[in-house]
Amino acid sequence: MKSKPALVGRSRRTRAFAVLAAACTGLLATALLSGFHIGVHEIQPESGTTTSELVTPEIIGIRTFAAPTDIRVTEDVVYGTRADGTLLTLDVCAPAEAGTERPAVLSIHGGSWARGDKANADWRAVCQWLASEGFVAYSLNYRLVPESLFPAAIDDVELAARWVRAPANAERFGIDPARLGAFGGSAGGNLAALLGTRGTGPLDRGSRVAAVAELSAPIDLRRAAVVRDGGNALVQDIISRYLGCAEWALCPQAEDASPSTFIDQSDPPFLIGHADAEFIPLAQSQNFAAALAAAGVGVELVTAPGDDHSIGILDAAMRERVAAFFHDALAGAAPQRAALSGGAGPGSSR
């Protein structure tokens, strides 16, 4: 048997090039295996701010929840990559005991559509709390302004819903894809509500969800509606920056970004929480609840006293209301729209 010919006479330059090429190949392989891809980048919040919308250091709302140590957390699961290379990721919080066909909830952080992160301390606590209630929770990141204006964020949220429902992913995390809800606060509440109203067709497929709970969400983003409802200059600036219109009053995106635009009788049941003196006008939630009820959609509006915002009102009492809502709305293999137990129409207080 002939042996391979010796590489006699190869120049030092050729040998050096071969060594360099082999080294580069090895480095590239290592990078690919570690999840690095050329041109791919993660979402960067405005000014690098990943903290939640709770600007106070006080122990309020979700901060009063002590997470069990046995919740299983899977971090940085990729649910999509956008054309510009933006990597979309989510964290999964699951009950300690592995199960199959559990109900699931998308958890959507707030932060004026410009900051925040799925894994900051407050939203990680939301994820763990939902898991402690028996749900598989998916805490997701989405593209932020100013780099990505409307409709980038809701497009990402809809993609996440479809990804969660994909058979292989549903099996991986042990969920029933027919029983998917959405929870969000502040800007995340707007996205959860928009996810609930803008789709069409059955609630157990595609990007539709079977139940929505949202806290402190801006709902009608038209300038006239925000001014009518008492939105201050800060609220107006946040919404205007998100929509990216040169002139907000003549902004077609405002209607498209408003959950109230798309209400119809096919929408899932809603639980809405709002503080009565916070900076997002209570009238936004009151008008939304009234419109849902008028369309025949099950809805409960829970008002909390004070000026705390978003998951700042997610204290033990509100957590009990939200958990009961999801348990009721996501019960059974084929969730149906229904009036909420304990909710006497569009308005109630605690």
Is 241 within a domain? yes
Within-domain flag for 9: no
* Total number of domains constituting the chain: 1
Q: Are 347 and 289 in contact (CB under 8 A)?
A: yes
Please classify residue 327 by burial: count the beta carbons closer than 10 Å to its beta carbon, then call 0-12 exposed, 13-18 middle and 19+ buried: middle
Q: What is the CATH number of the domain that holds 149?
A: 3.40.50.1820
The answer to whether position 223 is within a domain reads yes
User: How do residues 127-167 score in pLDDT, each as one tens digit?
Assistant: 999 999 999 999 999 999 999 999 999 999 999 999 999 99
Looking at the chain, the number of H-run helices and the number of E-run strands are 10, 10
Lowest mean pLDDT among 29-33, 54-58, 86-90, 199-203: 29-33
**51-60, 178-187, 287-296: segment of lowest average pLDDT:** 51-60
Asked, for residue 22, whether it belongs to a domain, the answer is no
pTM: 0.84
Could you report the per-residue pLDDT of 216-239, keeping only the tens digit for each? Answer: 999 999 999 999 999 999 999 999
Contact call for residues 125 and 67 (beta carbons, < 8 A): yes
Q: Does the residue 19 lie in any domain?
A: no
Within-domain flag for 37: no
The residues near 111 (Cβ < 8 Å, ≥ 6 apart) are: 45, 49, 52, 53, 144, 186, 187, 188
Structure letter (DSSP) for residue 9: T
The SS3 of residue 221 is coil
- Is position 244 within any domain? yes
Select the more confidently predicted residue: 27 or 264. 264
Domain extent, residue 157, equals 45-349
